[in-house]
């Protein structure tokens, strides 16, 4: 303010003075009126109604008391108000607990930890199946058909399926039992999520009868059943999906055509772009061998185009579900050139 007074005595206006030193005229006016509080954004401010350290400590002590240890701030405030005691608002109590990491587990109890499913390996077809149920829309809002699909994780081939008007373990049992009995399949394991049909007594009874190991995903962990989830995305987002179906027969006819395309024509990225049918029948080894020879011959003809090794076209010898390290373990089989 002394510099401003000297500048004014020399004939410099307040506006010019503010422009020179880089402050606003309004700030000078506030200073002259005695308002010296820093009102800039981010400046340290004194909050008149801020809780003191003693009040915050009292809130923590009360909330961690045996009476209130399992209650939320709204319940605590209601009980204390009934007893004629006021600590702070619910939002303030929430803030104090959050800052001190006491918003959860004030009693010291541990959250339930769900164990990752045991790893299941398949080194050939018809050993490990992954299955799930998804809904198919109909022309009536709120009414759905339910698609049951069993898939071989080793070859990604759709093996057994069915479409029904309801979800039930009995339907799943019939699909799997008919397929295994008709084809003489002896499975090692079947993996699914935790849906009611998957854990129904009638379906689990079938697995017990067949001597099949049961495997389930963790709650709300779709990655534990990634094979079926990926398949359902292909089902619903592939070209030709009608979006909804007028009848159960229409849905079954559409899926039969999809099944034929998926198993025999779809070049699956998870199995090195061969069809599930070719991998299931063991024809993929010869296909991958031909592709590898093509790349090797191309490199020999024009080595300048290849700065590194050529694509290997690896054969996935072993596939696993719920691996501890990666989603699938691949043992590379050497393909003779």
| Percent of residues, the chain, with pLDDT higher than 90 | 59
pLDDT in tens, 237-273: 987 899 999 999 999 999 999 999 999 999 999 999 9
* Pairwise pLDDT comparison (44 vs 234), residue with the higher score: 234
Strands 189-192 and 213-216: parallel
* pLDDT above 60 for 41: yes
pTM of the model: 0.66
Given phi > 0 = left and psi -120 to 50 = alpha, else beta, which region is 147? beta
pLDDT of residue 330: 35
Beta-ladder partners of 121: 320
Residue 19: what pLDDT? Answer: 83
CA dist 120 and 224 (Å) reads 12
Q: Which residue has the higher pLDDT, 23 or 76?
A: 76
Q: How far is CA 298 from the centre of its chain?
A: 41
Q: What CA–CA distance (Å, rounded) separates 152 from 282?
A: 14
Mean pLDDT in residue range 184-207 = 94
In angstroms, the CA 256 to CA 84 distance is: 71
Give me the pLDDT at residue 1, please: 64
Stretch 56-60: mean pLDDT, rounded? Answer: 92
Judged on CB neighbours under 10 Å (0-12, 13-18, 19+), 168 is: middle
Average pLDDT, the chain: 87
Query: Hey, where are the domains in the chain?
Result: 1-45, 53-99, 117-337
**In this model, does residue 275 exceed pLDDT 90?**
yes
State residue 38's pLDDT score. 66
In tens, the pLDDT along 135-191 reads 999 999 999 999 999 999 999 999 999 999 999 999 999 999 999 999 999 999 999
In this predicted structure, the answer to whether residue 3 has a pLDDT above a threshold of 80 is: no
Cα separation, 18 vs 24, in Å, equals: 6
Q: Which run of H or E residues covers position 158?
A: strand 158-164
330 within 8 A of 318, measured Cβ to Cβ = yes
Mean local confidence (pLDDT), 95-112: 79
pLDDT value at residue 114: 75
DSSP state of 111: P
The pLDDT of 285-298, averaged and rounded, is: 93
The neighbour count for residue 145, using CB atoms within 10 Å, is: 21
Asked whether 162 and 145 are in contact (CB, 8 A), the reply is: no
* Right CATH for 117-337 from 3.30.420.10, 3.40.1280.10, 3.90.650.10, 3.40.640.10: 3.30.420.10
Phi and psi angles of residue 220, each rounded to the nearest 5 degrees, phi first: 55, 35
Percent of the chain at pLDDT > 70 equals 90
- Tens of pLDDT, residue by residue over 10-25, are 778 878 888 887 878 8
Residues 6+ apart with CB under 8 A from 206: 173, 176, 177
């Amino acid at each position: 303010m002394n510099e401003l007074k000297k500048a004014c005595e020399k004939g410099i206006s307040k506006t010019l003075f503010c422009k020179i030193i880089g402050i606003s005229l309004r700030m000078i006016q506030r200073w002259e009126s005695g308002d010296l509080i820093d009102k800039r954004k981010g400046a340290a401010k004194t909050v008149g109604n801020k809780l003191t350290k003693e009040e915050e400590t009292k809130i923590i002590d009360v909330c961690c008391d045996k009476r209130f240890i399992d209650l939320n701030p709204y319940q605590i405030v209601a009980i204390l108000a009934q007893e004629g005691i006021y600590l702070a608002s619910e939002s303030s109590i929430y803030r104090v607990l959050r800052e001190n990491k006491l918003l959860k587990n004030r009693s010291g109890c541990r959250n339930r930890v769900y164990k990752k499913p045991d790893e299941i390996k398949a080194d050939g077809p018809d050993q490990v199946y992954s299955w799930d149920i998804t809904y198919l829309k109909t022309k009536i809002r709120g009414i759905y058909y339910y698609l049951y699909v069993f898939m071989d994780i080793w070859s990604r081939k759709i093996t057994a399926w069915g479409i029904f008007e309801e979800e039930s373990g009995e339907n799943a049992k019939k699909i799997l039992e008919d397929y295994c009995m008709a084809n003489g399949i002896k499975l090692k394991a079947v993996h699914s999520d935790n849906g009611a049909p998957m854990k129904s007594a009638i379906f689990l009874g079938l697995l017990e009868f067949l001597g099949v190991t049961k495997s389930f995903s963790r709650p709300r962990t779709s990655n534990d059943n990634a094979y079926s989830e990926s398949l359902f995305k292909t089902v619903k987002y592939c070209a030709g999906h009608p979006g909804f179906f007028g009848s159960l027969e229409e849905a079954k006819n559409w899926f039969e055509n999809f099944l034929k395309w998926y198993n025999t024509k779809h070049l699956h990225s998870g199995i090195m772009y061969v069809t599930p049918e070719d991998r299931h029948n063991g024809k993929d080894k010869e296909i991958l061998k031909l592709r590898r020879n093509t790349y090797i011959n191309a490199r020999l003809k024009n080595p300048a185009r290849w700065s590194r090794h050529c694509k290997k076209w690896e054969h996935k010898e072993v596939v696993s579900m719920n691996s501890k390290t990666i989603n699938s373990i691949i043992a590379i089989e050497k393909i003779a050139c």
